[in-house]
Amino acid sequence: MKSNIFIFSIFLGLFLSVSTSCKKKTTEPTLEPTPLAVEKGIVTIDLSHKWGFTNQTDFVLGTDLIHPMTNDTLNFTTFKYYVSNFKFKKADGTWYTQPESYFLVDLSTPSSLVLTIPDVPVGDYTDVYYTMGVDSTRNVSGAQTGALAASNLMFWNWNSGYVFLKAEGTSVNSSTGTFQFHLGGFSGANNLLTEKYINFSNNSLTVSANHTSTAFLQVNPGWLWHSAPSVSVLNMIHMPGTDAATMALGFYTNNSIILDHIVE
Amino acid sequence: MKVFSLFFCLVLLASFLACKKDELVIKPYVEEETWGFKIPSTFPQPDYKFENNEQTRLRFELGRLLFYDPILSLNNTISCASCHAQEHGFADHNVAMSTGINGVQTTRNAPSLSNLAWYPNFMWDGGVNHLEVQPLVPLTNPLEMGESILGILSKLNASSFYKNKFKEAYDVDVITDQKLLQAIAQYTSMLISANTKYDQYIAGKVDFTTSEKNGLTLFRNNCVACHTEPLFTDFSYRNIGLDTISEDLGRELITQNPTDRRKFKVPSLRNVAITYPYMHDGRYFTLSILLDRHINGALDTESTDPFLLSVSPLSPTEKLEIIEFLKTLTDFYLIGDPQFSQP
């Protein structure tokens, strides 16, 4: 009897092992195959938006703001833009690249103004690189989710591609009383993708285990009109092209995003 | 002995339990008839690869439900199938311009749908770059279904029926636009046309009549530069010299390049005999008129494709033979397949 039970338990063992042996092989590929546990911390990027070059004021939706170069009075109802692909650089030249880092900054949603980058390996970082806009791959890869979902209404349905930046509002200087700038473009002459970086110079950003380090940045949307004309001349952009490039690159390529301070 | 038979049964049962789930996973083409996306032997590799959207029967059936459900339009009156009817080769019901919500008229002819998984881009002007995001255009165009993405998601999420279906198919508690679009792609990618009389002739299974054979020869001498076999399009954009006055600038609207003026995507000719009227605006109702104007009468506009201007005119007999050949491109299997019909 005992031996029967013994044999039976062997068969039961066999049964279990075979029945689990050819399960679906759809385990998610691990992005970072790290054999050794690396200690990690969190980095947050805290964005505050300012207006004006001297005598700066806070950039607030629904208030009249006078542009220092065009002298237009602009009252923004919408200001949204994509920031993506965060990369962290150490003094020794090594990099940490954050996978799936896509953020839609939306001035009407305060929580979107703090970008959280989890799982950054501990260490001292000299620079943080990031991209203004959404990389070309994600513009051509079908239905996306999260910050890139079409339901965020930052996707051109009829001419596939992301609106990288949306600025809308009213202005007495515009012939229609309004302005609507939908800026984007990821390929060829219309490619607006711009990599920017924050340099911490001597004062590197230290990431410690299970701790949050924060970089406080100031963003100045006024740079959109660095080369673009007054809204009395141009009050609407709805597709990639020269106008979109002039306006977006004014904001993307200049000193529009600056480091204020860091808290570690 | 008893013990051994018990052992045998257990192992058999175990392997059955273990492998049952794999049946729904997309597999490379095999000869036996199993359900799923298969690449026809004469076709190239498809553009759509089910990335992040593994094919399952549940997802396909969900996509099919959505394709036929007017809930996706603003006033719940129009579905995808309203203008893409199976019995018409997934084109509209032989009208030049389709009718959107509240009776508004669209500005272009609803194209026939087949072999979409092989398309690098979509729409007459090629503005859409991926199968999954194509439905965003008709869903949100005020002249078509006129709904907003947020409106659709709110209706679907208020429906316990759809919440259950999406839960079964995608294991999600909240329906997102990504899952909605992926489900529709599960259905549209399966609309494969590869079993027409032409395909059977190429496979050596049936013979052509003399007219059909002559038509194929003429077709290969005159048409395949753009209507390339086996998909019967090369997916390029061309101005075929229809006119110089129509307002629809076609591809130029997307590229803003004046050399793309009034260029439209070369349409596939599969199911061409049953999907009249023709051209982006449905201006020609018969294949005979189409050939007269398209081959024999292209206007020399600034961006007319030079090839069309160099093609020698067809005689009346040649025209009839080409038409006989084009009729062999009707896919009675696709337009009659119950798995694609209204659920």
Task: Flag whether residue B257 sits within 8 Å of chain A, measured between CB atoms.
Answer: no
Q: Which two tokens stand for residue A45?
A: 């990027």
Of the candidates B133, B149, B153, the beta carbon closest to that of A142 is on: B133
Residues B301 and B248 in one domain: yes
Instruction: Give me the residue from B6, B127, B256 closest to A11, CB to CB.
Output: B6
Which range is least confidently modeled, A47-56, B193-202, B317-326? A47-56
pLDDT recorded at residue B137 = 98
Considering only CB atoms, A14 lies closest to which of B11, B131, B132, namely B11
- Residues of chain B with pLDDT > 90: what percent? 83
Residues B207 and B317 in one domain: yes
> Are residue B210 and residue B272 in the same domain, yes or no?
yes
Greater pLDDT, A9 or A149? A149
Provide the pLDDT for residue B297. 85
Give whichever of A25-39, A190-204, B135-149 has the largest mean pLDDT. Answer: B135-149
Examine the domain organization and report whether B141 and B240 are in the same domain: no
CATH (domain of B279): 1.10.760.10
Judge whether B131 is closer than 8 Å to chain A, CB to CB: yes
* Omega before B267 within 30 of 0, i.e. cis: no
Q: Nearest-CA residue of chain A relative to B123?
A: A158
Q: How far is CA B135 from CA A251, B141, B144, B263, B265, in A?
A: 33, 10, 11, 22, 18
Q: Examine the domain organization and report whether B163 and B211 are in the same domain.
A: no
Tens-place pLDDT, residues A13-25: 444 444 444 444 4
Choose the weakest-confidence range: B16-20, B168-172, B229-233, B309-313.
B16-20
What does the pLDDT read at residue B88? 97
pLDDT value of position B113: 98
- Asked whether residue B301 is domain-assigned, the answer is yes
The position carrying tokens 């690249």 is: A97
Q: Which among B243, B178, B55 has a CA at the least distance from the CA of A143?
A: B178
Residue B277 lies in a domain: yes
Judge contact between B36 and B26, C-beta under 8 A. Answer: yes
Identify the residue with better confidence: B47 or B2.
B47
Output the six-digit token pair for A90: 């150490």
The reply to whether residue B11 touches residue A15, judged by beta carbons under 8 angstroms, is yes
Q: Which segment of B8-12, B195-199, B237-241 scores lowest on mean pLDDT?
A: B8-12
**Bridge pairing between strands A257-263 and A212-219:** antiparallel
Q: Give how far B285 is from chain A: nearest CA, Å.
A: 27
From chain A, the residues in CB contact with B150 under 8 A are: 151, 153
The whole-number average pLDDT for the span A16-43 is: 60
Out of B154, B175, B192, pick the residue that ends a domain. B192
* Residue A31 pLDDT exceeds 50: yes
Residues A98 and A116 sit within 8 Å (Cβ to Cβ) = no
Task: Tell which of B177, B179, B188, B253 to mutate to test the A interface (max A CBs under 10 Å).
Answer: B177
Nearest Cβ partner of A22 from B18, B127, B141?
A: B18
User: pLDDT tens, A237-260?
Assistant: 999 999 999 999 999 999 999 999
Question: Are the beta carbons of A203 and A138 closer than 8 angstroms?
Answer: no
Residue B131 with chain A: CB contacts under 8 Å: 142
Taking CB atoms and an 8 Å cutoff, what residues of chain B touch A19? 13-15, 17-18
> pLDDT for B76-134, tens place per residue?
999 999 999 999 999 999 999 999 999 999 999 999 999 999 999 999 999 999 999 99
What does the pLDDT look like over A65-89, one tens digit per residue? Answer: 999 999 999 999 999 999 999 999 9
Residue A11 has pLDDT above 90, yes or no: no
CB atoms within 10 A of CB A143: 26
A9 pLDDT higher than 60: no
Q: Do B254 and A18 touch (CB under 8 A)?
A: no
pLDDT-derived band at A166, boundaries 50, 70, 90: very high
Tally C-beta pairs within 8 A across A and B.
106
Going by their DSSP bridges, the two strands A155-156 and A161-170 should be labelled as: antiparallel
Give A2's contacts (C-beta < 8 A, 6+ positions apart): none
Is B227 in the same domain as B184? no
Q: Using alpha carbons only, give the angle B288, B290, B293 rounded to the nearest 5 degrees.
A: 110
What pLDDT shows up at residue B298? 87
Contacts with A155 from chain B: Cβ below 8 Å: 133, 136
What is the number of other CB atoms lying within 10 angstroms of the CB of residue B284? Answer: 19
- Residue B244: per-residue pLDDT: 87
The whole-angstrom distance between B45's CA and the closest CA on chain A is 17
Which residue range(s) make up the domain with B239? 197-333
Residue B16 lies in a domain: no
pLDDT for position B1: 47
B176-187: per-residue pLDDT in tens? 999 999 999 999
Q: Which of B168, B192, B216 is the last residue of a domain?
A: B192
User: Does B115 share its domain with B100?
Assistant: yes
Report if residue B110 sits inside a domain: yes
**Terminal Cα distance for chain B, rounded:** 52
Q: Closest Cα to residue A101, out of A44, A17, A167, A174?
A: A44
Dump pLDDT digits (tens) for A209-226.
Answer: 989 999 999 999 999 999
Per-residue model confidence (pLDDT) at position A1: 46
d(CA B32, CA B42) in angstroms, rounded, equals 17
| Same domain, residue pair B86 and B206 | no
Report residue B45: phi and psi, to 5°.
-65, 140
Kindly state whether residue B7 falls inside one of the protein's structural domains: no
Q: Which of B143, B158, B192 is the last residue of a domain?
A: B192
For CA atoms B137, B139, B141, B144, the dihedral sign is positive
B153 and B265 belong to one structural domain: no
Q: How confident is the model at residue A202 (pLDDT cuts 50, 70, 90)?
A: confident
Tell me: pLDDT of B28 over 70.
no
A→B contacts (Cβ < 8 Å), by residue, are 4, 7-8, 11-12, 14-16, 18-24, 26, 139-145, 149-151, 153, 155, 157-161, 239, 241
Chain B residues touching A4 at Cβ < 8 A:
3
- Does residue B44 fall inside a structural domain? no
Q: Which residues of B328-337 are buried (b: 16+ CB within 10 A; e: fewer)?
A: bbbbeebbee
Burial class from Cβ neighbours inside 10 Å (0-12, 13-18, 19+) for residue B157 reads middle
Q: Where are the strands (E) in chain B, listed by range?
A: 237-238, 264-265
- Judge whether A130 and A47 are in contact, CB under 8 Å: no
Number of domains in chain B: 2
Flag whether B329 is in a domain.
Answer: yes
Complex ipTM: 0.86
- B166 and B211 assigned to the same domain: no
Q: What percentage of residues in chain B have a pLDDT greater than 70? A: 90
pLDDT of B9 higher than 60: no
Q: What does residue B288 show for φ and ψ, rounded to 5 degrees?
A: -65, -50
For residue A8, the model assigns a pLDDT of 53
Which comes out higher in pLDDT, residue B123 or B20? B123
Question: Which tokens sit at B303?
Answer: 């961006």
Question: How does residue A34 score in pLDDT terms, banded at 50, 70 and 90?
Answer: low
Question: Considering CB atoms only, which of B129, B176, B185 is closest to A145?
Answer: B176
The pLDDT value recorded for residue A24 is 42
A46 with A217: CB under 8 angstroms?
yes
Query: B206 and B152: one domain?
Result: no
The verdict on B273 and B167 lying in the same domain is: no
Residue B25 maps to a domain? no
